[in-house]
Structure formats: structure tokens, C-alpha cells
Amino acid sequence: MSRPRQQISIGMNILGHGGHSAAWRLGEAPPTAVFDAAYYQNIARISERGALDAIFLADGPALGGDVGHQPAGRLEPTVLLTAVALATTHIGVIATCSSSYNSPFNLARRLQSLDHISGGRAAWNVVTNAGDAAAQNFGLGGAPVHADRYARADEFVDVVKQLWDSWEDGAIIGDAAQGRFADPARVHSIDHQGAHFQVKGPLNVPRSPQGRPVIVQAGSSEGGKALGSRHADAIFTTQTTLDDGIAFYTEMKARARAWGRDPDHLKIMPGISTVIGSTEEEAIARCDALDAFQGEGGLLAQIAQRIGIAASELDPDGPLPFDRLGTVVDYERGSHGFWEAQVNLARRENLTVRQLSRRIRSGHRLVVGSAEQVADTMAEWFLAGAADGFNLMPDMFPSGAEIFVDEVVPLLRRRGLFREGYEGTTLRQHLGLPWPENRFAAPEAQVRAASRATA
């Protein structure tokens, strides 16, 4: 079932009306589409038509953004992705859920329930949620510091994985005639006693068609990289230059190896923002049309916000104020990955602030060009060892997803870099990940294997 090495994985990141923050202004979808399951179901069906690996939903438990001027708010991802799973048959569904503002039992259960309902297509993107707005919805004055969030996240993921394993595969006997439902010896309490959590278990949901949900992680700080390389099956990351992409890829594979893992079982998927036209000129015109709604001030403000320096203090025609950056970035408030990716791009390519603002939109690497150009750069990164796949952020939905599926996917197929159709039914199979071992079954299985070896 495992996929040949030379196949790219692709997740479709449904970021509101599109990866470009002015997408909603063009009116391709109604302003309230973000609260309508049918909107997401439609994009998921388009993505499934292209045999993409998964739908990805970012999330945070607070009303972020500027609700006056921009669609803000979103439906809860485990619930919304259940609706998406019901409208599709193969594509995976990746829910972003907080390890800081959930309890391991409830979250493990919801995700495992989604994994059952979707037939083994669920994944959890673990986030710790920087920023105070979320914290203040959960009884805290502000977010816990970075180190504490990641210490909690590490234990949280560990507890969730234990709960997902608490029913062994085959624990259910299901003998109605004899009145035997399950083998109680194969349904395990986990009796977890840790610094952050005490959880008895077992979970009240058995293993799923793919064993347990896939784990995704997206933080690029030291804490994020440690967590992801230990626990995750896939890493979403912000990388804006090929050299940085290769360095990150190499580092994460080495970290996985250091945890005793097969590095092939940790998929590295940088974000890629796309504005695609029939020609490069058409793509540029499409991007200009979107930019026009934002204005140069809006573009510069995005840069300013990510580096933590007021836009009024930036010279649009000068370089980033590199000497001030080291002292300004606040790891407690913002995303380390976005900060680093933006600063690296400006430095490596010697860009002015204005040039940088046109090279980046959502914070991820931006490609404005023809389908051929998008396929080229995806192939380049993949073959250079910077990516096992990509988390795709089309500029605008649904057209940006349709163009990608109809024009880029066939080019990748022609080069042998993308599957012709689904070869499996679970997300784990799409990603080329092995069936997950069950920690509670392992000793017994080892004993059996050992007894066979000596027989």
C-alpha cells in the first residue's frame, strides 16, 4: 500500500475565501461562505477530483482578525470536517485543534470519531496557539509562555496517542449469540499520571479504519520542531527559499532519525501560495486585481505585522531593518516560522520592503505564474529534497482550486510525480504511511514473534 517515493503529497488549505486576504472582495463566493458547510464541501469535491491527499483547515478558538473589514470567525473544524467527509469518499480531512485549550480525552475522542465516520481519513494538526485572545476565552489573562505551551503539547499528544491505542486491533469479538462484545483484556486503561494530565482511560471509541488519525504539526520554533519530529506523521512549514527548504527538510529527517523513527514516515510539506493564469501575464493580472483591493498600504502592513515593527517605521524602498529585528521579534506572540521565512527571503534576495511585500501574501512562498511554472517549482522543490509534498494555498476559492486541479495536476502526472487516482482509501495510505503499531499490543506480539522464532 505504500506509495512510491517519487509521488508528491498535496493538501488543500481552505483559508477562508482564499490565500489572498482580498479574495472575498472579488465576490466569487458570498461573504458568509465561511459559515456554510456547502462551500467547503464544494472545494473538497474539486480537490478529490484531482486525487489530492487532504483538505486542511487552520483554526484558533478566538475571533481573530478585523471583523469590520474582513470575514472573521469559522465553524469548529472537527464538526465542519465531518460534513466535508460525508460529501466525499477518499480525500483526507485535517483539523487544526489546540493542545493548550482542549482536554486530551475529549479531543482524542472527537478526532477518533471523525476517523471512524470518514472511513480512516482524519488528521489532527497540533497547534499550541500563541496570542492572548484565545487564552482569554479559557480563563487565562494571556497565553502561557512558549516553553510551557510546548511542554503541555508534548504530553497532550502523548496522552492522545495512548488513548487512541487503548483498544487493541481485534479487541472487539462481536459475538451476539454468546453475548461477548469485546475481550476486556485487550481494552486498556492508560493510567496516565503526568505533569499536566492525569487520564485513566480507556477511550470510549475503538481503533479506526486507519488505526488512528494522522498527526500533523506546523510549528517551526525549536519546541515545534522537537514536537513534530517526535510525534507527527507530516509537517507543514513556511519556507520561502529553496536553500532554506532543503535545510529544514534535512534537519527534520535527521531529527526523526534521532527519535528512532524511519524518516520516510515524517512527510515534510511546505506551504505554497498560488496565483495561476493561462500565462504568466494572466497570473500577474489576477494577482494585481487582488492586490488592488488591498492597496500598497495593506501589503506593507502585512509585512510590518509579521516582523513586529510598525509600518510607519519601514522605508518601502529600503531593506528590512535587520539590525532591529533580532530585538523586536516576540516569540510569545507571533509565529516564529512566518517571521523567519519572511526575513530569510528578504535577506537572501536582497529585497526592499516593497519588493518583499509583492513576493509574499499569506506568509508562505508565493508563486504567480502559469500552470507550467507552478508545476516546475513544485517538481524542483520535491526533486531537490526540500519537500515530500505541499500544503497548497490558492489565491481564491473555488477558482484557484479548480485551476490547480484542472491544469497543474495533469502536468505533475505527466512527469510521473503525482498519482493518477487514489490507490488506497485512507489518508495514511494516500500519504504512504504505515499502519500504526499499537503500544498495548506490542509486547504480546513480540512474545508471539519470539516464540515462533525459537519454535
Selected from 6, 35, 254, 288, the binder of its own copies by CB under 8 A is 35
Q: Which three cell numbers stand for residue 283?
A: 497570473
**Least CB distance to its own copies at residue 324 (A):** 32
Selected from 4, 174, 260, 443, the binder of its own copies by CB under 8 A is 174
d(Cα 189, Cα 205) in Å, to the nearest integer? 13
d(Cα 213, Cα 348) in Å, to the nearest integer? 38
Query: Segment 198-217, which members bind its own copies (CB under 8 A)?
Result: 198-206
Query: Segment 293-322, which members bind its own copies (CB under 8 A)?
Result: 293
Q: Tell me if 42 contacts its own copies by CB under 8 A.
A: no
Comparing CB distances to its own copies, the nearer of 143 and 374 is: 143
Give me the 275-294 binding string for its own copies, x by CB under 8 A, dash otherwise.
Answer: ------------------x-
Selected from 89, 145, 147, 183, the binder of its own copies by CB under 8 A is 183
Cα 31–chain centre separation: 24
**Least CB distance to its own copies at residue 121 (A):** 13
CB 143 within 8 A of CB 100: yes
Give me the 131-160 binding string for its own copies, x by CB under 8 A, dash otherwise.
Answer: --x--xxxxx--------------------
Residue 128's contacts (CB-CB under 8 Å, 6 or more residues apart) are 98, 99, 100, 146, 149, 150, 152, 153, 219, 223
Q: Tell me if 114 contacts its own copies by CB under 8 A.
A: yes
Q: Tell me if 393 contacts its own copies by CB under 8 A.
A: no
**Least CB distance to its own copies at residue 432 (A):** 27
Give me the 47-86 binding string for its own copies, x by CB under 8 A, dash otherwise.
Answer: -------------xxxxx--xxxxxxxxxx-xxx-xx--x
Comparing CB distances to its own copies, the nearer of 136 and 278 is: 136
In terms of DSSP bridges, do strands 234-237 and 214-217 run parallel, antiparallel, or are they unpaired? parallel
Comparing CB distances to its own copies, the nearer of 41 and 238 is: 41
Selected from 6, 32, 279, 446, the binder of its own copies by CB under 8 A is 32
Selected from 45, 49, 116, 415, the binder of its own copies by CB under 8 A is 116
Q: Tell me if 179 contacts its own copies by CB under 8 A.
A: yes
Selected from 1, 180, 414, 445, the binder of its own copies by CB under 8 A is 180
- Contact region with its own copies (CB under 8 A), list: 100-108, 276-284, 332-340, 432-440: 100-108
**Least CB distance to its own copies at residue 23 (A):** 10
Cα 52–chain centre separation: 14
Give me the 214-243 binding string for its own copies, x by CB under 8 A, dash otherwise.
Answer: ------------------------------
**Least CB distance to its own copies at residue 24 (A):** 6
**Least CB distance to its own copies at residue 440 (A):** 14
